[in-house]
Amino acid sequence: MSENTPPEPTTDIRCPHCKKTFSANLMDGRAERYRGFKCPHCRLFVPAARIKP
Ligand SMILES: [Zn+2]
């Protein structure tokens, strides 16, 4: 029997720093301004507030 793990909700993000796209889970910080993503390309923090569809 294999465990059926539900897929984690990921978001497609376009990094405002290096302009590359990546998918990541939203980091749930304590404060609103700490909610965001970490770019795997340039390792900079991308605030969730800057990601608007
Ligand atoms: Zn980046």
Residue 26 lies in a domain: yes
CA of 14 to the centre of ligand 1 (A): 8
Q: What's the CA angle centered on 32, arms 48 and 46, to 5 degrees?
A: 25
Cβ-Cβ contacts under 8 Å for 2 (sequence gap 6 or more): none
Q: How many domains does the chain have?
A: 1
For residue 10, what pLDDT is reported?
82
Inside any domain, residue 34:
yes
Cα 5 to averaged position of ligand 1 atoms, centre (Å): 29
CA of 7 to the centre of ligand 1 (A): 24
Q: Which residue has the tokens 């608007």?
A: 52
**Cα of 8 to ligand 1 centre, how many Å?**
21
- pLDDT 10s digits, 1-53: 667 877 777 888 999 999 999 998 876 767 776 788 899 999 999 988 877 66
Domain that holds residue 17: 11-50
Is 1 contained in some domain? no
pTM, 2 dp = 0.67
Helices and strands per DSSP (H, E), number in the chain: 0, 4
